[in-house]
Structures are given as structure tokens and as C-alpha cells.
Amino acid sequence: MGLAGAALLAAGVLVVAPSAVSGGGPLAAATDCPDVEVIFARGTSEPPGVGRVGQALVDSLREQTGLNIDAYGVNYPAGRLQLGGGDGANDTISRVKSVVQTCPNTKIVLGGYSQGASVMDIVAGVPVGGITWGNALPAQYADHVVALATFGNIADRSGTPISSQSQLLGSKTIDVCNPSDPICHAGPGNQWSGHTEGYVPVYTDQAARFIAARLLAGQPHLPGDSQPQPT
């Protein structure tokens, strides 16, 4: 090989080597991992994805923290008969396991609205009405979950919210109930619009503040951090 050929070969190594390193090594895997992944279960009859409430929560979290946040919409039917909660819980757990395996340093936030909140009841090990289908999150994955937020959870109406009932995730949970929402609040003055329209942006912003404090400070509970109380 002449000097010209050697020079070309060396140049080829210089060009190819960096791309080879960045294509599949640990550095690339770390770079592709977000700071946070929000796993959110949408409400009844919403199209696949995180839904209106979930998207508002994610948007508020991005604004409040400045972190790189990915969103995953729980894959479950969300039909009117509400028979897919177990499927949603199992998909949530599968997604948590996947994130932990591929991106162990990514912080996980769970959430659900309406029927999606019932999905999170199952994940947290406190299903409403003693529902037996679907599984609770295995305890070894709980440390990867920084926070959980539910909106319009029927468990609140019966006085069994995740925040007070779940040994697994209760201390990390904010259960948000709009006082005019008949799904989660049994008091007077309830109206259906309180459930369908009452959470964005006031309550999604409040839940985002609760979650952001934990993402940024890593504290299980901050003094003076309050949850909305039904009136």
C-alpha cells in the first residue's frame, strides 16, 4: 500500500469510528434516555394517548422543571363499560419494567384521569371495590416511581384514595378531586362538567407543582405541600 492509500485508510477510520461509537454503545443509550417518563392512563372514551388531562400535566411539568420529559399513554380500551382496568394496570407495569431496564436513571411519574385513575388504583395495590383483575406494581420497582397523580378518581368518593391507602405508593401520591366533580365528590353542587372540564389547567398545574418538587428536590414530602380538599 502506498502513502496515498494509507492516508485514505486513516481518514476513513477517523470518519467511521465516531459514528460507530455513537451508534450502539452505552453512551448512545444514555443520551436517548429522558430525565423523566410520565406514564398516564387516559379517561373513558378518550382516543389513544395520554388524553387531555395527561397532556396538560406533561406540558405543565415541562414548563415548571425544564427537564427532558417523555410521555407514554397507557394501552388499554378505556371503554364505557370500564372492563379494561386490569389491562391498563398490566400495561403500566410492563412499561415501568421496560423503562427501568433500558433507562435505569430515568425518573418515572404515574398518572391517570377518571377511568385511568382506577387503573392506577390497581397499580398501587388498592383497587376500588376489591377488583381482582390486573396486578399491583411489584415492590422492587416502587423506588423508580417518583410520584403518582390521579384526577377524578372514584376512590376519593368512597374515602379510599391512593394517598392514604397504598403502602406501595401512597406517600408519593396526590389525589386531585375538583369539588364539583360527581365522580370523586359526593357533596352538593356537583355537575358533570366538573368532571369533564374541571381539571385543566388549575388542577393539572397543582399536581405538576407537587410532582416537580419531587423531581427537582427528591424529597418524599415537602412541608406545607397541600392537596385540594373537597368542600
Which one from 87, 91, 156, 181 is the annotated catalytic residue?
181
Whether residue 226 lies in the annotated active site: no
Residue 195 is a catalytic residue:
yes
Question: Can you tell me the distance from the alpha carbon of 148 to that of 40, in angstroms, rounded to the nearest whole number?
Answer: 9
Catalytic residue among 87, 91, 114, 180: 114
Q: What distance in Å separates the CA atoms of residue 158 and residue 177, rounded to the nearest whole number? A: 12
CA distance linking residue 73 with residue 39, whole number of Å: 6
Closest CA to 117 of 156, 69, 165: 156
Catalytic annotation on 114? yes
Q: To 10 degrees, what angle do helices 202-217 and 51-65 make?
A: 50
- The Cβ-side half-sphere exposure at 153, using a 13 Å CA radius, reads 32
Residues 69 and 224: their CA atoms lie apart, in Å, by 26
Active site residues: 114, 181, 195
